[in-house]
Amino acid sequence: MTRLGILISGRGSNFQAIHQAIERGTLQAQIACVISNVPEASGLAYAHTHGLPTYDLDSKGVKRADFDTKLIEILRKANVDLVCLAGYMRLLSPHFIEAFRGRILNIHPSLLPAFPGQNAQGQALAAGVQVTGCTVHYVDEGLDSGPVIAQAQVPVLVNDTEQTLSARILEQEHNLYPAAIRQVITPVSRSTKTNVE
Ligand code: GRF
């Protein structure tokens, strides 16, 4: 069973959606640990309530490299196969990315490569696009720049505010993240491969 290490900084609604998909049996994985770099993150309460191994590590004032070394230690001890960033609001150091290369996923509220970085929903409104959405992608050293795994589109409505648009995108995020994890951990069946020679 694939073991997930979840990193959060706040509300953790995507983490909850992943956990609920596992509970429903639509995602064959196991949450090995939930780590928050913000001790007061509300997502931690959900993790505690559901008996998940939880770590609150305050990153305030801690050097990124030192903090990430601690993260790597916890994730390795928990035998994590896949690291899922779910609203984790801290950049990862190159040595963290190297340690889990190709095994770190993130969700971002835009159709990447459009609108990377903060406030992607506000960026979409300011740009006047008619369609935006969300993306699950592999994490590399760049800002929201790794290979795309899955995307969902969300139309921008005439009266949308950042709040209304963010809420509709979030709804899609909650379906997309478990589906993208499923896609990553499901081996491609040999019988479905076609040989074209
Ligand atoms: C989501 O919009 C996600 O796309 C972005 O941060 C937000 C986290 O929300 N990376 P939540 O903590 O999962 O509720």
pLDDT tens digits, 38-91: 999 999 999 999 999 999 999 999 999 999 999 999 999 999 999 999 999 999
Residue 17 has pLDDT above 50, yes or no: yes
Average pLDDT over residues 26-33: 98
Q: Is the CB of 109 under 6 A from ligand 1?
A: yes
Q: pTM for the whole thing?
A: 0.94
CA of 124 relative to ligand 1 center, distance in Å: 16
Q: Is the CB of 10 under 6 A from ligand 1?
A: yes
Contacts of 190 (CB under 8 A, 6+ apart): none
| 57 Rama sector, left if φ>0, alpha if ψ -120 to 50, beta otherwise | beta
Contacts of 12 (CB under 8 A, 6+ apart): 6, 34, 36, 41, 42, 43, 44, 46, 47, 86, 87
Average pLDDT over residues 103-110: 98
What is the reported pLDDT for 157? Answer: 98
Q: At 197, is the pLDDT very low, low, confident or very high (cuts 50, 70, 90)?
A: very low
Residue 37 has pLDDT above 70, yes or no: yes
Q: Is 108 a catalytic residue?
A: yes
Ligand 1, atom 2: closest residue by C-alpha: 109
CA of 2 relative to ligand 1 center, distance in Å: 22
Q: Is the CB of 133 under 6 A from ligand 1?
A: no
Of 134 and 192, the one with more pLDDT: 134
What is the reported pLDDT for 189? Answer: 64
CA of 96 relative to ligand 1 center, distance in Å: 21
Pocket test for ligand 1, best of 13, 14, 137 (most atoms within 8 A of CB): 14
Nearest atom within ligand 1 for CA of residue 170: 2
Average pLDDT over residues 34-38: 98
Peptide bond preceding 53: is omega within 30 degrees of 0, i.e. cis?
A: no
Residue 119 has pLDDT above 70, yes or no: yes
Select from 9, 92, 96 the least CA-distant residue to 58.
9
Q: At 187, is the pLDDT very low, low, confident or very high (cuts 50, 70, 90)?
A: confident
Residue 100 has pLDDT above 90, yes or no: yes
Q: Rg for the chain (alpha carbons), in Å?
A: 17
